[in-house]
Amino acid sequence: MKRVLIVLVLLLAAGVALVLALNFRDEPPLLADTAPFTAQQVARGEYLARAGNCAGCHTERGGVPYAGGRGIATPFGTVFAPNLTPHPQHGLGGWTSALFWRAMHNGRSADGRLLYPVFPYTELTRITREDSDSLFAYLRSLPGTDKPNRPHTLSFPYDTQAALAVWRAAFFRPGAVAHDDTRPAAWNRGAYLVEGLGHCNACHSSRNALGASSGIALGGGLIPIQNWYAPSLNDAREAGVADWELSKIVALLHDGVADASRGGSVTGPMVEVVTGSLQHLSADDLLAMATYLKALPPHDVKDPPKPAPISAAALEQGGKLYEQHCVGCHGKQGEGAAPAYPPLAGNRAVTMASAANLVHIVLEGGFAPSTPANPRPYGMPPFATVLSDAELASVLSHVRGSWGNAGTEVSPLDVARLRSGR
């Protein structure tokens, strides 16, 4: 018995040592800043902050830019984005560029605490030290705001550093910029923006039970903090653009709308990304992202399962509700009225395996982003108080199973779960 106990203690000690080693790998030296930042670094950092949409999380609605406070709900509790202004007590005033680089590259705060991966250091670890320093220079140039950081409200054991250390040991490795000499410069720049600074995989991937990315990179998944479905970027049945012209991909990224005949417009959380980030990128960077996205290897599914036929009752009830609420904009045959109202017939956003986005759009309504090319976007009115769960399920089932569409039936339970935020 004593020998078994000794073996267990040794195994536990070895496990702790391994977790510690994995959490401290590739840690940079923490050197003091020796030279002031240049105006060029500050300007570059402002652009990079736009490209990474940093303000999207680090600005509370109606609050001071980058002063933090926005709560990000996760399945494990709520994480509050910190203050990134150079306030000496509540912000980055006591940080150095080396500490900031460690946070970006290794996910560790100035005081050594491990950061929660809601801050997407799992992707930002791939940015260059030069870009990290420019970002820091820009943030240090902002006015300091004395907004205290709000403590996270995570449930046990997810609120412990020990649990986070185990998670990181299992799912995180510091990364680096990957350059493919066989690819053109535009593709490499696009890969850097999509995989690193833009952290697209943070949303466009499936998640395992512990919240780590799983499956194919950019392969789509339910966004756990919002319950929208971020479609696969390498699947032609979802949001793959391999067969799109580069100019139309650029238009979708920059304007939020493209190819109205195919229903090409962004909705849901992606509206905020276009509004706060993508529409402000340079033409070269947008073309680079389009080049990379167009070249993604397709995700081919051999013998995909055939969807079960939608019940006659759902089609009948849904058809009546469609005539009552939808036909005026989307047409009797789901043809839409481009560019104002997208077609529903043949629209892959309608027939994706997940109906989460359709449920959200009908419940909550919404607009495409307002951009120079689309300054007054037409909107979808909310039907949350108009349609019951059963009615909304039937009208969506009708849309997904009519005019040649081959989507699956939506159940009232699906609607109820999404309506309640679960």
Does residue 115 sit in the same domain as residue 32?
yes
Does residue 276 sit in the same domain as residue 344?
no
Question: What pLDDT, on the 0 to 100 scale, is given for residue 303?
Answer: 55
Which CATH number belongs to the domain containing residue 246 in this structure? 1.10.760
Does residue 161 sit in the same domain as residue 262?
no
Does residue 18 sit in the same domain as residue 159?
yes
Does residue 147 sit in the same domain as residue 256?
no
Does residue 290 sit in the same domain as residue 345?
no
**Domain's final residue, options 148, 171, 194:** 171
Three-state helix/strand/coil letters over the chain: CHHHHHHHHHHHHHHHHHHHHHHCCCCCCCCCCCCCCCHHHHHHHHHHHHHCCHHHHHECCCCCCCCECCEEEECCEEEECCCCCCCCCCCCCCCCHHHHHHHHHHCECCCCCECCCCCCHHHHCCCCHHHHHHHHHHHHHCCCCCCCCCCCEECCCCCCHHHHHHHHHHHCCCCCCCCCCCCCHHHHHHHHHHHHHCCHHHCCCEECCCCCEECCCCCCEECCCCCCEECCCCCCCCCCCCCCCHHHHHHHHHHCECCHHHCCECCCHHHHHHHHCHHHCCHHHHHHHHHHHHCCCCCCCCCCCCCCCCCHHHHHHHHHHHHHHCHHHHCCCCCCECCCECCCCCCHHHHCCCCHHHHHHHHHCEECCCECCECCCCEECCCCCCCCHHHHHHHHHHHHCCCCCCCCCCCHHHHHHHHCCC
Question: What pLDDT, on the 0 to 100 scale, is given for residue 291?
Answer: 98
8 A C-beta contact, residue 232 and residue 220: yes
Three-state helix/strand/coil letters over 204-247: CCEECCCCCEECCCCCCEECCCCCCEECCCCCCCCCCCCCCCHH
Does residue 119 sit in the same domain as residue 165?
yes
Question: What pLDDT, on the 0 to 100 scale, is given for residue 367?
Answer: 87
Question: pLDDT tens across 295-352, in order?
Answer: 999 876 555 556 667 888 888 999 999 999 999 999 999 998 887 888 999 998 999 9
Three-state DSSP class for 287? helix
Q: How far is CA 257 from the centre of its chain?
A: 18
Which CATH number belongs to the domain containing residue 322 in this structure? 1.10.760.10
Does residue 220 sit in the same domain as residue 277?
yes
- Determine, yes or no, domain membership for 255: yes
- Structural domains in the chain (count): 3
**Domain's final residue, options 171, 195, 219:** 171
- Determine, yes or no, domain membership for 9: no
Question: What pLDDT, on the 0 to 100 scale, is given for residue 11?
Answer: 45
- Determine, yes or no, domain membership for 339: yes
Question: What pLDDT, on the 0 to 100 scale, is given for residue 149?
Answer: 96
Which residues in the chain land under pLDDT 70?
1-25, 225, 259-263, 300-308, 422
Question: What pLDDT, on the 0 to 100 scale, is given for residue 301?
Answer: 58
**Domain's final residue, options 140, 171, 202:** 171
Kindly report the number of other CB atoms within 10 A of residue 331's CB atom: 16
Question: What pLDDT, on the 0 to 100 scale, is given for residue 24?
Answer: 59
Tokens 């940015």 label which residue?
127
Q: How far is CA 216 from CA 204, 206, 235, in A?
A: 10, 8, 11
Does residue 165 sit in the same domain as residue 25?
yes
Question: What pLDDT, on the 0 to 100 scale, is given for residue 9?
Answer: 45
- Determine, yes or no, domain membership for 302: no
Does residue 167 sit in the same domain as residue 215?
no
Domain that holds residue 206: 185-294
- Determine, yes or no, domain membership for 8: no
Does residue 18 sit in the same domain as residue 167?
yes
- Determine, yes or no, domain membership for 301: no
Kindly report the number of other CB atoms within 10 A of residue 257's CB atom: 22
Does residue 270 sit in the same domain as residue 334?
no
- Determine, yes or no, domain membership for 178: no
pTM to 2 decimals? 0.90
- Determine, yes or no, domain membership for 179: no
- β-sheet bridge partners, residue 117: none
